[in-house]
């Protein structure tokens, strides 16, 4: 019977029941007629038809139906031909037995079919049953979720209507192999969705065997689009990883779980001299063959086996950072080249926590080791040099901590090197002293200028020393800033200076008394000369008296001049504002109508306290010898060697022939000492002076101040004053 007809009848049970009833009635009528005419051997077999149909299509009612049919048949036999009742009972027993067997088998078949359908309809995979041509006879509901098709839309269709043409040939070949009874086939094809797009489906097909022959195909399909995408992404990631490993600057090797090389980058080729093509797929003895002094496993082998104890034994200086293992080692290549290496290795672990391989990178630090050795030698040399210095020497970092000291510093402070290193001034010295040290340190850090300062310091024994500390900034190649300083203990010198100053004070007092007495005598002399002039009429004697007065005036002026400069070099140089000194000197002169301009505000110089006399002399000379001077200007310009403070006027200037003699003692039209002493005052702190003006355009005195002798306390802005 055609399977589609059976399916049709199963879906319409009322029609099927009516059909069985009609068949049963016809067969019973025929059997009644046969009993009457004595034909009881063939016609009873026709009753098997309704009994079997009922037991097959209605298994739960099959036995009952057989009993009812049997009762009717026995009743007919008893009424028409009682003599044949025993045979009839034997026949009906067969009816009931066959009905029971068919009902049982049908029930088991239905249960199996229901189990299959339940599995099929609940499965996330697509389940398809086809005939031998590949035409679908059953499609599971999951096809709608995966492909968008209703199962009924695929039943009765051939796969060629849905498969990508490029895959159709392989699919037809697979169907042919299955129908020929070959082993199950696995094939991946692109299947058209209802929206027209294609989805990658992996199908597993197996033959359905019936009566020893292939009656159809059972197909299970799974959407592997995402898996394919992930596999493609994994392949792409693996490709990129391989490219990254290949271009890494450090020699790198990757091995799999079996210890075979799966990656050997270009840097590894250069270090080992072995091309990747000759090493990939080979084991340990191949990838260590280029090392001449190796007798055992290398770090990557221990890491692959997770042999922690082995690592510690082979590499005593090893460090563990999570799964990564780092160490230092030295190897010799077969050609005798020696390498010092930083080695790092880590296991490759999959998502299940299993080790699938290991990776190891090498970094050639041979050059760095040479630099470190040279640095150690340099530090040793530096220590030797600075320890030969008698003056205390120190280096501080940006946090004001001592990072290097010489023996002289330790001896001077009374503390050991171990006590001092890493500590600051506040840990050893008085707060008021440490405050000054910190202030001067910060000044160097901020201005990047060298600093020299006189300070007091108390040693471990409580002795107070007067010191001069010179500090400068050092910046290393990484940009770190340090203070480099050297100390000169001037305690004894200060004591000597104090003694000399006392002596000078006494000499100045004696000089002042002597000068006062001489001036008193000069006054008496001038009085006598005036009285004599009044009484004397002789012209020749009057001329002698006049010359005596001139000589007396010259002596008085020179004595007055010595009063101004008796403190030259006596007092300690100090930082002084240039603008203030210049304007103070200007206020002591009479210069009505002259414009005075300063362009040096904020500039301080380290000079003798008499620097104001220098500016006084310059301005007095301009007023005395410059002609019609109307402008005096003081400006400054920085140079790599320091700063040039320039004084100029708009007078007649200085003749060329006088420039070389300008600062000689006694040269000039007045005392001849002003410019000479000005140069001496400036030279006390290393400052020089020269005249560079052009005759006829005014004087131009350049005062050159070295780097260590000037600083700024603000910005230089012009200041103009009218007198």
298 and 398 share one domain: no
Residue 569 domain flag: no
Average pLDDT, integer, range 549-558: 74
pLDDT digits (tens, 9 = 90+) for 605-651: 999 888 888 998 888 888 888 888 889 999 999 999 999 999 999 99
First and final CA of the chain: distance in angstroms?
Answer: 138
What 8-state DSSP symbol labels residue 696?
Answer: T
Q: 527 pLDDT exceeds 50?
A: yes
Phi and psi at 79, nearest 5°, equal -80, -35
Q: What is the dihedral of CA 569, 574, 577, 578, to 10 degrees?
A: 30
Q: Helix, strand, coil % (nearest 5) of the chain?
A: 50, 25, 25
Identify whether residues 375 and 477 lie together within a single domain.
yes
Name beta bridge partners: 220.
127, 204
Cα 675 to Cα 616: distance, rounded to the nearest angstrom: 10
Domain, as residue range, for 360 = 230-364
Residues 712 and 584 in one domain: yes
| Cβ(601)–Cβ(636) below 8 Å | no
Structural domains in the chain (count): 6
In a domain, 639, yes or no: yes
Tens of pLDDT, residue by residue over 348-401, are 888 888 888 899 999 988 888 888 888 788 888 888 888 888 899 999 999 999
CATH of the domain at 433: 3.30.450.20
Q: Are residues 292 and 383 in the same domain?
A: no
d(CA 333, CA 272): 7
252-263: b (≥16 Cβ within 10 Å) or e? bbbbeeebbbbb
| Mean pLDDT computed over 594-615 | 89
Q: Which of 79-83, 313-317, 443-447 has the lowest mean pLDDT?
A: 79-83
User: Is the per-residue pLDDT at 533 higher than 90?
Assistant: no
| HSE toward the beta carbon, residue 263, CA cutoff 13 A | 23
pLDDT band of residue 1 (cuts 50, 70, 90) is very low
- Span 192-201, pLDDT tens digits: 888 988 888 8
Q: Do 553 and 417 share a domain, yes or no? A: no
Q: Name the more confident of 252 and 89.
A: 252
**204 and 214 Cβ atoms separated by less than 8 Å:** no
> Which of 194, 223, 252 lies at the terminal end of a domain, its last residue?
223
**Phi/psi of residue 488, nearest 5 degrees:** -115, 120
Return the bridge partners of 255, or none.
261, 358
Sign of CA dihedral 672, 677, 682, 686: positive
Looking at residue 38, its pLDDT comes to 74
**8 Å CB contact between 588 and 566:** no
- Residue 468 · residue 487 · CB < 8 Å: yes
CA separation, residue 391 to residues 407, 422, 571, 654 (Å): 9, 21, 26, 48
Distance CA 505, CA 567 (A): 9
Which of 326, 347, 364 lies at the terminal end of a domain, its last residue? 364
pLDDT on residue 65: 80
* Number of Cα atoms under 13 Å in the Cβ half of residue 721: 15
Residues 175 and 212 in one domain: yes
Residues in the chain: 723
Q: Are residues 385 and 477 in the same domain?
A: yes
Q: Is 75 inside a domain boundary?
A: yes
Residue 557: band (very low, low, confident or very high) from pLDDT cuts 50, 70, 90? low
pLDDT at 470: 93
Q: Which residue stretches of 536-591 are H helix? A: 539-564, 578-587
d(CA 648, CA 619): 9
Per-residue model confidence as pLDDT tens digits over 145-193: 888 888 888 888 888 888 888 888 888 888 888 887 666 788 888 888 8
What pLDDT score was predicted for residue 577? 92
Is residue 50 a part of any domain in this protein?
yes
Which 8-state DSSP code applies to residue 82? Answer: G
pLDDT of residue 209: 78
Here the tokens at position 599 are 């362009």
CA distances from 429 to 405, 420, 459, 460, 462 (A): 16, 11, 8, 9, 10
Q: Is the pLDDT of residue 722 over 50?
A: no
Q: Are residues 359 and 241 in the same domain?
A: yes
Instruction: Identify whether 60 is part of a domain.
Output: yes
Whether residues 583 and 716 share a domain: the answer is: yes
Helix (H, G, I), strand (E, B) or coil at 158: coil
- Is residue 330 classed as helix, strand or coil in its secondary structure? strand
Of 431, 458, 489, the domain-final residue: 489
State pLDDT tens for residues 479-508. Answer: 899 999 999 988 888 788 777 777 767 666
**What is the mean predicted confidence (pLDDT) over 72-94?**
78
Helices 13-37 & 62-80 angle (0-180, nearest 10): 20
Tell whether 300 and 439 lie within a shared domain.
Answer: no
On average, the pLDDT of the chain sits at: 83
Are 717 and 587 members of one domain? yes
Examine residue 591 and state whether it is found in any structural domain, yes or no: yes
Q: Is residue 537 part of a domain?
A: yes
Contact 566, 678 (CB under 8 A): no
Is 184 in the same domain as 138?
yes
With residue 483 as reference, give the H or E element that holds it.
Answer: strand 481-489
- Tell me whether residue 266 is in a domain: yes
The answer to whether 32 and 76 have CB atoms below 8 angstroms apart is yes
The per-residue pLDDT for 426 is 93
Q: What 8-state DSSP symbol labels residue 391?
A: S
* Residue 723 binned pLDDT confidence (cut-offs 50, 70, 90): very low
Per-residue three-class SS string for 103-129:
HHHHHHHHHHHHHHHHHHHHCCCEEEE
| 451-458 β-sheet, strand order | 402-405, 393-396, 481-489, 464-475, 451-458
Is 340 in contact with 363 (CB distance < 8 Å)? no
The predicted structure's pLDDT at residue 15:
78
Residue 205 has, within 13 A of its CA and on its CB side, a CA count of 29
- 99-119: per-residue pLDDT in tens? 787 777 777 766 665 655 655
């Amino acid at each position: 019977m055609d399977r589609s007809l059976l399916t049709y009848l199963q879906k319409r049970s009322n029609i099927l029941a009516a059909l069985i009833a009609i068949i049963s009635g016809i067969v019973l009528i025929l059997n009644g007629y046969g009993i009457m005419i004595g034909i009881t051997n063939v016609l009873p077999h026709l009753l098997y038809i309704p009994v079997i149909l009922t037991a097959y299509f209605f298994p739960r009612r099959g036995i009952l139906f057989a009993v009812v049919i049997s009762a009717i048949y026995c009743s007919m036999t008893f009424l028409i031909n009682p003599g044949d009742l025993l045979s009839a009972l034997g026949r009906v027993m067969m009816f009931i037995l066959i009905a029971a067997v068919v009902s049982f088998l049908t029930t088991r078949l239905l249960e199996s079919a229901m189990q299959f359908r339940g599995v099929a309809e609940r499965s996330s995979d697509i389940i398809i049953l086809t005939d031998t041509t590949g035409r679908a006879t059953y499609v599971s509901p999951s096809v709608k979720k995966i492909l968008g098709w209703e199962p009924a839309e695929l039943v009765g269709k051939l796969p060629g209507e849905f498969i990508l043409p490029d895959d159709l040939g392989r699919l037809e070949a697979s169907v042919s192999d299955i129908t020929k009874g070959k082993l199950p086939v696995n094939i991946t094809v692109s299947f058209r969705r209802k929206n027209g797009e294609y989805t990658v489906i992996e199908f597993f097909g197996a033959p359905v065997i019936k009566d020893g022959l292939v009656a159809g195909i059972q197909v299970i399909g799974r959407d592997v689009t995402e898996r394919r995408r992930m596999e493609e992404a994994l392949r792409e990631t693996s490709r990129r990883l391989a490219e990254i490993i290949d271009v890494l600057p450090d020699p790198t090797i990757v091995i799999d779980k079996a210890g075979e090389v799966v990656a050997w980058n270009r840097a590894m080729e250069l270090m080992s001299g072995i091309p990747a093509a000759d090493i990939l797929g080979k084991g340990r003895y191949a990838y260590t063959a280029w090392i001449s002094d190796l007798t055992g496993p290398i770090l990557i082998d221990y890491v692959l086996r997770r042999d922690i104890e082995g690592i510690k034994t082979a590499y005593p200086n090893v460090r563990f950072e999570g799964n990564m293992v780092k160490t230092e080692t030295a190897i010799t290549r077969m050609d005798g080249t020696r390498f010092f290496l930083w080695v790092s290795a880590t296991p490759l672990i999959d998502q299940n926590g299993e080790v699938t391989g290991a990776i190891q990178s090498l970094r050639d630090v041979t050059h760095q080791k040479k630099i470190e050795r040279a640095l150690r030698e340099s530090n040793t040399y530096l220590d030797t040099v600075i320890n030969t210095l008698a003056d205390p020497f120190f280096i501080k970092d940006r946090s004001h901590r001592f990072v290097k000291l010489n023996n002289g510093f330790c001896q001077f402070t009374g503390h050991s090197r171990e006590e001092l290193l890493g500590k600051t001034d506040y840990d050893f010295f008085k707060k008021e002293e440490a405050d000054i040290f910190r202030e001067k340190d910060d000044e160097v850090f901020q201005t990047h200028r060298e600093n020299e300062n006189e300070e007091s310091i108390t040693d471990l024994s409580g002795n107070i020393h007067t010191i001069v500390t010179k500090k400068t900034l050092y910046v290393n190649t990484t940009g770190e800033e340090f203070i480099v300083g050297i100390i000169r203990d001037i305690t004894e010198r200060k004591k000597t200076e104090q003694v000399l100053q006392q002596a000078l004070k006494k000499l100045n007092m004696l000089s002042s008394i002597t000068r006062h007495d001489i001036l008193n005598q000069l006054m008496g002399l001038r009085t006598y000369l005036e009285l004599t002039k009044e009484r004397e009429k002789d012209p020749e004697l009057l001329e002698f008296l006049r010359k005596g007065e001139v000589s007396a005036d010259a002596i008085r002026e020179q004595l007055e001049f010595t009063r101004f400069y008796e403190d030259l070099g006596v007092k300690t140089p100090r930082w002084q504002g240039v603008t203030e000194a210049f304007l103070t000197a200007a206020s002591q002169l009479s210069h009505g109508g002259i414009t005075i301009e300063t362009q040096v505000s904020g500039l301080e110089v380290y000079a003798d306290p008499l620097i104001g006399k220098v500016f006084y002399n310059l301005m007095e000379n301009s007023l005395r010898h410059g002609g019609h001077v109307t402008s005096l200007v003081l400006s400054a310009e920085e140079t790599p060697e320091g700063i040039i403070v320039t004084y100029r006027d708009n007078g007649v200037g200085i003749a060329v022939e006088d420039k070389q003699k300008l600062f000689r003692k006694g040269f000039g039209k007045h005392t001849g000492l002003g410019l000479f002493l000005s140069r001496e005052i400036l030279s006390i702190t290393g400052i020089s002076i020269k005249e560079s003006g052009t005759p006829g355009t005014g004087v131009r005195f350049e005062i050159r101040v070295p780097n260590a002798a000037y600083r700024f306390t603000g910005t230089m802005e012009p200041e103009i004053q009218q007198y």
